[in-house]
Amino acid sequence: MRDNLNEIEKFSPFGGELILEEVAGANNEFKTAENSVSTAKGQDRDMYSYVPKSGCPDAKQGQVLFVLRSSASKESAEEALKTYGLDKLAEERHFTVLFPNPLDGGWNYAQDPGRDDDCAFFVRCFAALPKSKGGVAGFNGMMFYLALDEAGSAMLSTLSALHPIDCAAMMIGGYPEGYTLPEGVRQPQVSWLYAKNAQAEQYLNEVNGPLAETQRNGVRVMTNTVNRNIRHFVSEAGLTPEEIVKAWDMMFSEARRWRNDTYGTYQERTNFTEWGFIPHVKDSSLGVNDGFAHTWYEYVPESVRNSDQKVPLLFYFHGGNCIPLYGAEQSDWHRIAKENGFIVVYPKASTQKRWNCWDDQGEPSDFAFVLALIEHMKKLYPIDETRIYASGFSMGSMMTNALCCAYPDVFAAGAAFNAQNLGYFKNLKSTFGTLGMGGKQYTEEELNAPSHTKLIADEKNKDHKYRIALIQNSGLLDGLGVRGWPVKEADNLWLETFDYWKAFNNIPVTPFVYSDEYETGLSADVSCYEGDDQRFIHHIWYSQDEEHLPLYQVMVAKRMPHAVDLRQIRFAWDFIRHYSRNADGTLSYKE
């Protein structure tokens, strides 16, 4: 996959050079929203790093290739870069190359407890990147591996068997004599075999099945018949620069392992150029926020481009410290839009990659940005103004909640993922103080002042009892910034959010009573499990209005941390698509 829409924005002072980086044994975790890793502590070690002079995209879209060789010398890393054309490939495809250095005795693929755990070492290498001299990081779901010899191939197979979530894709050859794959957890693994390896092929056939075999560019491709993103390639052509380029284009660049389940989930990547995304990068044409140069991406299905038929418009707001195209791959809203004939816009937060969901007057207004985008889209396309929807993840979920309560006359429905209505309940200062991100000491008056979002929402809803269809989503393991699940105490921002939207939609608000019937601790008018694997806990509340509509819903995924399962996105669409906003402000439901 070759795509040129990911902005190249990370440039290292050591770009184009091979540099030595320290990897502290105590640096066993890296915590950042949606890109966290953690592992066991170990010995202080080091690695060589090559960051391309041509630059890399944002870390959330960044790829990292670990190259395993038997020597720890700089000369061996330099030789590998040149011999296999890795430096040239990295410059062309904009990824970082790491050479983790083995200890004396080579790679610990047999998991000798008396030696350092190399599986954990690889994760510590990744965790070291954000604060490294190279200064360029990547995404934890695109940690790729290349083994240059048999020992490295055995090490990567051990990693895959024991810690598959830390191995998005690997390229391996044969095994050393006597090596046997550990029993492990037997999870799917995207792989490329460049040498005959009957043991590895048998293992991959088992963990990746059921499979269908095809041929592509002279390579056998074994693809899972249920999830086509689970596949392995059998070439046996040996390790050459040409073989690595082929593996990069056919496998590495199309692999992404999202950490939204115990062992991760392979999800299709998006070639934004082929999909026809329309980029607006640092575009000041909207005429808001004193000419601020905003960024957004539009996806308009081909079926809509030359049609006069009015279509829905949906916004998806990325999480904090993220970017729009990451949000696009995370949510796949454009695939649902293509299937159902509506338009998606992926905007970028105006300030520091975080949404101004409080509409704080000291920062550019993301509310003004979104309202201007609506007008912009109406000029270009036949937008159905009655069916404008908001959706977002994490801080984008805060933005979704904020827009829905401040502009219920504009939005018909919302699908919020993994955060509460902080834009209404707190102001910018108190929110950042609560999250431990602000260094300044604020006065009680500053901390307790109502947000501008609350002022807008309260005024908007003072004389008109709006209703809005809203579904909140989360993961049962997600406790970012708040008390986690299950909800056991009344003092909880989730409950404040639930009660706000219940009252908003004329749903009785009763004192919280913990229920152990479902893992969330919640009870509702209707509660059930969804999905073939019963993964989703679904709560539904009905409005007491005459229509008795299921206006407020909560869906929580088992085994999931701060992430998204694509099935939640589809559940959300199946809910919000029925609702439209009438000219008089009332809400309509249509099958």
pLDDT tens, the chain, 591 aa long = 778 899 999 999 999 999 999 999 999 999 888 899 999 999 999 999 999 999 999 999 999 999 999 999 999 999 999 999 999 999 999 999 999 999 999 999 999 999 999 999 999 999 999 999 999 999 999 999 999 999 999 999 999 999 999 999 999 999 999 999 999 999 999 999 999 999 999 999 999 999 999 999 999 999 999 999 999 999 989 999 999 999 999 999 999 999 999 999 999 999 999 999 999 999 999 999 999 999 999 999 999 998 999 999 999 999 999 999 999 999 999 999 999 999 999 999 999 999 999 999 999 999 999 999 999 999 999 999 999 999 999 999 999 999 999 999 999 999 999 999 999 999 988 887 755 555 567 788 888 899 999 999 999 999 889 999 999 999 999 976 556 799 988 778 899 999 999 999 999 999 999 999 999 999 999 999 999 999 999 999 999 999 999 999 999 999 999 999 999 999 999 999 999 999 999 999 999
Residues 276 and 262 in one domain: no
Distance CA 59, CA 353 (A): 13
Tell me, letter by letter, the H, E, C secondary structure of 449-496. Answer: CCCHHHHHHHHHCCCCCCCCEEEEEEECCCCCCCCCCCCCCCCCHHHH
- Asked if residue 15 belongs to a domain, the reply is no
Residues 557 and 489 in one domain: yes
- Asked if residue 6 belongs to a domain, the reply is no
Residues 189 and 50 in one domain: yes
Distance CA 348, CA 281 (A): 9
Residues 80 and 108 in one domain: yes
The domain that holds 377 is classified in CATH as 3.40.50.1820
Beta carbons within 8 Å of 339's beta carbon, 6+ residues apart? none
- Asked if residue 202 belongs to a domain, the reply is yes
Residues 160 and 290 in one domain: no
Residues 242 and 319 in one domain: no
Residues 254 and 282 in one domain: no
- Res 438: pLDDT: 53
- Res 482: pLDDT: 58
Residues 115 and 218 in one domain: yes
Last residue of a domain, one of 235, 266, 297: 266
Distance CA 324, CA 299 (A): 12
Contact assessment for residue 106 and residue 151, using Cβ atoms and an 8 Å cutoff: yes
Last residue of a domain, one of 249, 266, 283: 266
- Asked if residue 13 belongs to a domain, the reply is no
- Asked if residue 14 belongs to a domain, the reply is no
Which structural domain range is residue 178 located in?
A: 26-266
Residues 237 and 281 in one domain: no
Q: Both tokens of residue 240? A: 């050459």
- Asked if residue 370 belongs to a domain, the reply is yes
Distance CA 208, CA 230 (A): 6
- Res 234: pLDDT: 98
SS3 state of residue 157: helix
DSSP per position, 316-353: EEPPTT--HHHHHHHH-HHHHHHHHT-EEEEE--SBTT
Last residue of a domain, one of 218, 249, 266: 266
Q: Both tokens of residue 453? A: 């979002």
Q: Both tokens of residue 12? A: 């290292």
- Asked if residue 20 belongs to a domain, the reply is no
If one counts the domains in the chain, the total is 2
Residues 257 and 359 in one domain: no
Distance CA 122, CA 41 (A): 11
Of 460, 468, 479, 449, nearest to 401 by C-alpha is: 468
- Asked if residue 34 belongs to a domain, the reply is yes
- Res 479: pLDDT: 79
Distance CA 110, CA 122 (A): 16
Distance CA 580, CA 329 (A): 27
Residues 56 and 170 in one domain: yes
- Res 2: pLDDT: 79
Distance CA 529, CA 508 (A): 23
Longest dimension (CA), the chain: 79
pTM for this entry: 0.96
Residues 313 and 168 in one domain: no
